[in-house]
Amino acid sequence: MTTDRTDAPFIIVGGGMAGDAAARGIRMVEEDHPIVLLTTEGSGPYDRPPLSKDPLASDLAERVDRQTSSEGVDVRTRARVRRIDRKGRRVVLQDGEALEWRGLVLAPGARPVVPAWARVPDGAEDLEVLAFRTLEDARALAGRVEEGCVPLVVGGGFVGTELAAALAKSGHAPALAYPEDAPLGRVLPDPFPRLMARYLEGLGVELQPGTAFRSTETLASSAPEAAPRRGGAPGGV
């Protein structure tokens, strides 16, 4: 963080858990000074980890909300920072608005990697790929599942495995594809991946071990049997 004593607010770029923690940290030492938090998302900071544990919960948004604005923070949603003017000590937003800062915190996090094979070519309306990271992604997934789509979860790491288990426990058992022999095979030692495979199968998840996608066509052919043509394929990233 760079600092300078002016009347300008503290500006936080990023509405994730780090952005929220920064706001609370500043508030502990600056009781009244204005703090502006900018996020590209449609809601203020929230806890991301619960998203993959209970993605279909109807009260998900309320449960994960970190209530950052209750700390007297001006939370601005759908506000993308396009440029940082270090000399002028201001950030410039996508819509051209410029905001000066007294102190600037950068907490822009990360975005899911969407590999080339998961990018749906024009005209392939029967295949939809959702990356899974945000509250909006969870809402989109819930919408597809309610329409009757059977998802193919791609990725047997923590997020993909949690997502598959949570969907199955909600009565919407998906397929789960991963290149390893068992889910969590890359992150946990034996026997845990084998135990996890047994657990997921018991929940009704269709396991697809040894699956490394190379093209959108192979992705489409892995869609679960029961999937309607417009099946969702959330990336467990």
List all residues 6 or more positions away from 122 whose beta carbon is below 8 Å from its beta carbon: none
Q: What is the CA radius of gyration of the chain?
A: 21
227 secondary structure, DSSP code: -
Cα–Cα dist 128/151, whole Å: 10
Cα–Cα dist 172/161, whole Å: 14
C-beta nearest to ligand FAD: residue: 109
∠ Cα 88 93 95 (to 5°): 130
Nearer to ligand FAD, 84 or 195 (CB): 84
> And the tokens for 26?
């500043």
Give first-to-last CA distance, the chain, whole Å. 30
Contact set with ligand FAD (CB under 6 A):
13-19, 38-41, 48-49, 51-52, 80-81, 107-110, 132-133, 159
The arrangement of strands across the sheet holding 231-235 comes to 127-131, 231-235, 152-154, 175-177, 206-208
Nearest distance, CB of residue 45 and ligand FAD, angstroms: 7
Nearer to ligand FAD, 85 or 217 (CB): 85
Cα–Cα dist 186/205, whole Å: 19
Nearest distance, CB of residue 51 and ligand FAD, angstroms: 4
Nearer to ligand FAD, 80 or 198 (CB): 80
Nearest distance, CB of residue 176 and ligand FAD, angstroms: 15
Nearer to ligand FAD, 133 or 172 (CB): 133
Nearest distance, CB of residue 207 and ligand FAD, angstroms: 20
CA 126 to chain centre: 24
Nearer to ligand FAD, 19 or 216 (CB): 19
Nearest distance, CB of residue 121 and ligand FAD, angstroms: 26
> And the tokens for 150?
């059977």
Nearest distance, CB of residue 52 and ligand FAD, angstroms: 4
Nearer to ligand FAD, 22 or 220 (CB): 22
